[in-house]
Amino acid sequence: MVVEVQERKAGLADPVSSAVHLRPPARGGLHERFGPSDPDPGLEVSRNPRVARLLRNRKFQFLLILPNQIVFWTVIFVGILGTAVPGLNFGAAITWYVWFCLVFVMMVVVGRAWCAMCPFGGFAEWIQRRALWQRAQRALGLGRKFPAPLARLGFILPVVSFLVLTWIEEFFNIAGPGNPADTSFMVIGIVASALLFFLVFERRTFCRYVCPLTSLIGTVGSMGSVAGFRTKDREVCLSCATKDCMRGGAEGYGCPWYTWPGSADSNLYCGLCSECYKACPEQNVGLFLQKPLTSVVAPKRRRADVAWAIALLWGLVLYQQINATTAYARVDTWLNTHLGVPHYPDPVAYLGLIGVLALATAGVAKVIAVLLARRDVDFARPGSFADRGSRFRAFFVPIAYGLIPVMGADYFARQLPKFFKHSARVVPAVAHIAGFSSAGSPIYATHILTNPWIVNVQVAVIALGTLGALWATWRIASRELVAISRNTLALRVGTLGLVALCGTVAAVLYVAMHAAS
């Protein structure tokens, strides 16, 4: 069904609320919430005329997405029709030996760079907009708003979808890699899910609220040096009557991610699509660079759903490390036998251990809040720390943000064994597509690094992530927690001790894993 896009009727999206809350707040409220005390956006690279022309060109994002479209449709067809040998099948090899590792590099360096070139959302968006790059006025689909109760879950819903997808991948050994066709079917499932959401709901509802990777990319990407598209002059945004950056204009769509540049204080939800940059009639939106970790430390409007997402993602990667150790294999076998599960991963242990690890992280924040929170702070008074809801939330949310660097480093380190051991197999896999016999190629058995060196690199990555987390936590605690703590020394010891403990546990587990994939 073809329906009229409701962009001109939509209001201003509050970045903290969902897509269903699109009414612009009163001007006084905007000034109160998004005042000049917000973090400086950084260095504006769009001031360069060449960069500006590139960003205003509607073909730019299409040309970013197109190569990935070609690669992933190749993955689908080769996975199904190609050789059943995983290491020689281009689809399985490129996906599990190279792609996931490169995505993490992009997160840490750029932020949501993958979202700007994602073939899943890109393909669905082309169909939804009925155009590859032109500014169409009518969209294909129902154009519904995402249900408010689900939208309010924020990052929790995509974390759940990531946990489910990870369990499916591990249960069927898709990323082993197992049968290459399974990789193709998984990719088809993601593409089909994205297309369904794009045809039912408006804009990039799937990307913001459902995509399995959005919470991981958003949190880990906050370490990156691209601040995203931000307002140049806040007063111009506050006084703007049209809000074309959100509603859409002649030159650009309204922000597909429901993020108003005038309120953005991090790169958390900027998909780098440049639509707000194109649509703004005042040319008051720019693309900014920032120092690494700025979007971890700088935000003043921190969110509980993001904090819980960080805790759950941290629990997942620790679970993956634990289950790769020899000691856990016996426990897993025992659980599978007694619960009737045919093989790893046992869903009860999978969800249970992830939940326990996430709650343990939150429990430390709870202990800090109980022991150290000042009694004279009214956490229930509107406008004070009550915006965070309680003593626990006032401590837990900032502490969770501080763990982002060590959590992101852990996910990256987890991908390194496959990359260092098997990424060279992509070369014979490409040769196999071309019809060359590559089964006996010496490149197939080439390891970039041996197991001891892989472990060394993993531990080094965790050490760097831990140092970044210590620095971020120190800055966050000094700015946000010292004022509500009775003992600043104990606060710093407790928060920094948690970070150091997390880094130590991750490093020890990598040593115990012996570079297991």
Domain assignments of the chain as residue spans, ordered by start: 2-221, 304-513
Residue 27 has pLDDT above 70, yes or no: no
Which token pair is 434? 């071309």
- Kindly give the interhelix angle for 180-200 and 119-129, rounded to the nearest 10 degrees: 40
Task: Give the pLDDT of residue 375.
Answer: 80
Average pLDDT, stretch 245-257?
A: 91
**Confidence band of 6 (pLDDT split at 50, 70, 90):** very low
What order do you get walking across the sheet with 43-44 strand by strand? 43-44, 285-289, 226-231
- Please answer whether residues 116 and 273 qualify as being in contact, where contact means their C-beta atoms are separated by less than 8 angstroms: yes
Over residues 420-429, the mean pLDDT reads 91
How many CA atoms, within 13 angstroms, populate the side-chain half-sphere of residue 26? 3
CA distances from 352 to 281, 345, 348, 356, 441 (A): 51, 12, 6, 6, 44
User: Does residue 502 carry a pLDDT above 90?
Assistant: yes
Mean pLDDT of 71-92: 91
Question: Whole-angstrom Cα distance, residue 286 to residue 218?
Answer: 20
Is the pLDDT score of 111 beyond 80? yes
CB atoms within 10 A of CB 449: 16
Specify the pLDDT at position 378.
67
Q: Residue 30's pLDDT band (boundaries 50, 70, 90)? A: very low
- Taking CA atoms, 122 is separated from 116, 146, 189, in Å, by 8, 19, 15
| Mean pLDDT, rounded, for 268-282 | 93
Amino acid at 7: E
Q: If you average pLDDT over residues 268-281, what whole number do you get?
A: 93
Q: Which contacts qualify for 63-72: CB closer than 8 Å, 24 or more apart? A: 64/116, 64/117, 65/117, 65/118, 65/119, 65/122, 65/123, 67/117, 68/117, 68/118, 68/119, 68/122, 69/119, 69/122, 69/123, 71/119, 72/119, 72/120, 72/187, 72/191
Residues 463-478, mean pLDDT to the nearest whole number? 97
Looking at residue 385, what is its pLDDT?
37
Question: Half-sphere exposure of 207 toward its Cβ, with a 13 Å CA cutoff?
Answer: 30
pLDDT reported for residue 94: 93
* pLDDT, average across residues 282-305: 93
Residue 16: band (very low, low, confident or very high) from pLDDT cuts 50, 70, 90: very low
User: What mean pLDDT comes out for the span 381-409?
Assistant: 78
Note whether 485 and 372 are within 8 A (CB). yes
Phi, psi of 447 (to 5 degrees): -110, 130
> What is the rounded average pLDDT of the residues 267-277?
93
pLDDT of 272:
94
β partners of residue 285: 231
The pLDDT value given to residue 339: 81
Q: What is the mean pLDDT of the chain?
A: 87
Average pLDDT over residues 327-353: 84
- pTM (2 d.p.): 0.90
